[in-house]
Chain A
Amino acid sequence: MKRLRLDRWTGQLLVARPGASPVSTSLAAFRPASAPRCAAVRHQSTAATPFTEDSIPDDHDGTDHTRFPPLEKLPPRSTSLPSPLPERALQSPKLAALHARLSLSQKLPLQTLARALVDASADKNPQFNNSNLAFVGMTLINYHVAEWLMCRFPRLPMEVLYSAMKAYAGPTALHQVARSWGIEYAAAPGGEVDPGLLQFSLKERGDAMTTFGYKRAEAEYLDKYKFRHGISSRVVLDDDFGETVHNRLSNEALAARPDTEYGNELTRSLAEMAFATCARAIVGAIYAHCGRETVKDFVNAHVLSRTLDISKLFSFRKPTTELSLLCAREDFEPPVARLLSETGRLSRTPVFVVGIYSGNDKLGEAAGSTLEQARYKAATNALKSWYLYSPGEHVRVPSDMLSEGAKPWEPVYMDIGEIIAR
């Protein structure tokens, strides 16, 4: 069987087809018909550039170029473009450094990396911004995180699973990941900006679709009357993190909030979203050029390797009731709380150690300053130890089967579900 030629599938990422997009055709007309996929770079070229300075009068912004010569020779009309030209990516030291820092393969060209740094709010043309790459990247990151969480912690309740997904693959986490890669941002987007800088606009949101999910019919009432929406409807209707799709605070509402140390809430949320989209787009670009295995290793190394204490994500309203329901469901003996040890009952700081037993088996144990509190904490610990069951640290995930020569699949442990459906 012949190998799939992944590199042939991604040609459209680099080739801009003139007139293919109805939006901003006037801008697209200035673009080159097809950017060279592997242009030969001549560093330290002594040849004069074909464009003289007299030929760029129409985007003159009033700067006296004889007094303030430009730091870099820019192609003509570049200041009128929304984002830098793809061929300038080959000259950017920032981009080359980022490529080397992430140890990306040589198969991933700098032009694609530059495109991953252009947010939809900077350049509306989907042929030049990162929205398509980001969508691919988002699905890949979410898939790998979800399958790993499900195989590693098969008994997680849906709510905790959603918050764990968000803690690994949500915008805040990916923003931190992108920052840790050393991605810097441009003050304002434009064609003259260094292509190695992340470009996004603080004035408006990009209208790129970056999530799955449906707009609920009762969307208005959810905010207005705080409609209850159960976990089952979230699975079907909402996005990968169990959040309603429409539930984005409007720009005015965010801008009206008080300023923090670094900008107001609106600018902060826009920057966070832009960084997260960029991280997703880089993952999408790796998939497009290097394939499935490389992207899986990349997600493992940069997203799943982060530490998350899942036991902190739980909150139980009635742990004792839930525990007795669990014991009834699993045919255990009903749970009994027993006082294991105590000290200073009549003092200011008493400590009671309570264990929860089902027959002769101790399910959980906790220390508290009152008997009631210790019992609640012990029940919570017992429930956590049930829900956080893990078959092992190195579980096999379904995507392991996609590699060549994989061992036959052994079914992973599947749980029958949570105790109290919410």
Chain B
Amino acid sequence: MDLHYCDWAGSSKGMNGFIKSLLPKFAAAHPQIEFTVSPRPSKHPVIIGHYINGRQKAICVRNMEPYEILKKVELLRDASGEHLKRTTKPVRSINESVRGIWSPYHGNGMVV
């Protein structure tokens, strides 16, 4: 996860506070995530999450408070990297169905 900040600009005030106060604890709680903190002068602060499936998600966190940024960081942590999709079916499985597929050629049939 990349965290970019600017030392001078006011929109990075919350980001600087987040990096100073909340990030060490968050990074220690998530050793599986690699964090890089780098300055990006005269630009808005950005968090970029890089995912194993090769995609990345970027969130601009200008003018946000440290705890708002923590919410965004948790959002990136919980995302899988896939596009957000509406899930209509609660369960998806690659196992074949136990009951099998219904066949019109078996059973007693229906008299029309």
Contacts and interface: CB of A to CB of B under 8 A. Distances in A.
A and B bind: yes
A366 to B, nearest CB: 11
A100 B105 contact: no
A97 interface: yes
Nearest to A341: B105
A96 interface: yes
Contacts of A180: 52
A340 B106 CA distance: 9
Contacts of A182: 52
Interface residues of A, number: 18
Nearest to B109: A341
Contacts of B33: 97
B32 interface: yes
Interface string B72-112: 00000000000000000000001100000001111000000
Given A93-B34, A97-B34, A100-B32, A353 B105 contact: yes
Contacts of A114: none
Contacts of B52: 179-182
Nearest to A96: B31
Interface string B10-38: 00000000000000000000011111100
A341 B109 CA distance: 12
* 6 shortest interchain CB distances as A-B pairs: A100-B31, A101-B32, A97-B34, A100-B32, A182-B52, A341-B105
Interface of B: 31-36, 52, 94-95, 103-106
Given A97-B32, A99-B31, 19 more contacts: A93-B34, A93-B35, A93-B36, A97-B31, A97-B33, A97-B34, A101-B32, A180-B52, A181-B52, A182-B52, A307-B95, A340-B105, A341-B105, A341-B106, A343-B105, A351-B105, A353-B106, A367-B103, A367-B105
